[in-house]
Amino acid sequence: MIYSLKDKKPKMGKNNYIAPNATIVGDVELGEDVSIWFGAVVRGDMSKIIIGNSSNIQDNCIVHGDAPYPVTLGVGVTVGHNAIIHGCTIGDNCLIGMGAILLNGSTIPKNCLVGAGSVVGANLKIEEGSLVIGNPAVVKKKLSDKYIEYLKYAKDVYIKDIDIYTKELEEVK
């Protein structure tokens, strides 16, 4: 479901997939090849949300800005099931693990992996290509080049799913 709010209407890129029970509201801009999966909510009512090309927001995620904290996701970002992305910035080619929480003002630079269930606050200093885990989150180590390539593979799976779900998903009555 896609809704305008006040004078803000979501802007959609080409070849996107929005699951039937996903919700997008207000000041939201989706790039190309973006997928928003079942039960996810992308709510741009308090500040702008930008989701870059080839990114995916998996089932039951919440993406929400909070003035003065917009949400910006770079290119090729994978946000795992049940994650909460709130007023933060995520660089290109990142994977945010299932159930992770990114709080207002947090910044994840490119080529990073945030582990499942991690809670990332605003003051954590993170370098590109880092593994970030825990509650509160800490930088555990640098990712290998091989693992950074895996992050790209993760988003490619969801780009392929756009075509499958667009063509083959049917409601059973």
Q: pLDDT of 135-171, one tens digit each?
A: 999 999 999 999 999 999 999 999 999 999 999 999 9
What's the rounded mean pLDDT across residues 6-23? 97
Question: Which comes out higher in pLDDT, residue 122 or 73?
Answer: 73
d(CA 45, CA 156): 30
Determine the Cα–Cα distance for residues 151 and 74; give it in Å rounded to an integer. Answer: 13
Mean pLDDT of the chain: 97
Give the pairing of strands 137-142 and 130-134: antiparallel
Kindly tell me if the per-residue pLDDT of 40 is higher than 90.
yes
CATH topology of domain 2-167: UDP N-Acetylglucosamine Acyltransferase; domain 1 (2.160.10)
pLDDT value of position 39? 99
pLDDT tens figures, 48-72 = 999 999 999 999 999 999 999 999 9
Proportion of the chain above pLDDT 70, given as a percent: 100
Model confidence band, residue 132 (pLDDT cutoffs 50, 70, 90) = very high
Domains of the chain, residue spans:
2-167
The confidence score (pLDDT) of residue 24 equals 99
Mean pLDDT of 102-124: 96
pLDDT of 32 over the 90 cut: yes
CA-based Rg of the chain, rounded to a whole angstrom?
A: 15
Q: Residue for token digits 């499942």?
A: 116
Instruction: Give the model's pLDDT for residue 123.
Output: 83
Cα–Cα distance list, 91 to 19, 33, 126, 135 (Å) = 24, 17, 11, 21
Enter the pTM of the model: 0.95
What is the DSSP secondary structure assignment for residue 122, as one 8-state letter? Answer: T
Q: What is the pLDDT of residue 9?
A: 97
